[in-house]
Structure 1
Amino acid sequence: MVERDGGYASPDFCSQEHAAQWFSEPLAPLTPLTIRERTARDRVVDVGLALPYVAVAGLAATGLWTVINWIWP
């Protein structure tokens, strides 16, 4: 409930009166969290998103191994 002409809202922030009114109102009731079942498509997407990270880690490990063998033959 913002009254533009009543002085509640300003370009910078709301007034103390408006903040006090807003804090005095009760919070909305919480809605229960619903967790949906994971489908096969979800698992395929997870694997598809993880593969680039695994590939980068493998390439980094290969590069590290190469540098170590180059420095200490």
Structure 2
Amino acid sequence: MSYIISQPCIGEKNSSCVEVCPVDCIHTSDDAEQYFIDPEECISCGACVDTCPVDAIFPEDEVPEKWTKFVAINASFFNG
């Protein structure tokens, strides 16, 4: 199961999660407002969760209901 980066990351874009990811699966683009986790590359280790300063990262099945739209937003970043 992949992890999802949700609403609190928007505008924050702190790269601490990127730095601890052992498989380099957290990406963004210059025009994106947040980071995204590639579900194909994520090994579900959870290393990114504790380093996130805004508590924006959740296992896909534990994303708070108010932020579940970020599951689709994350997927669309990688699927175009």
Name the TM-score, length of structure 2 as normaliser. 0.19
Flag the structure with larger Rg: 1
Which structure ranks higher in relative contact order (CA pairs < 8 Å, sequence separation ≥ 6)? 2
Richer in helix (by share): 1
Name the TM-score, length of structure 1 as normaliser. 0.20
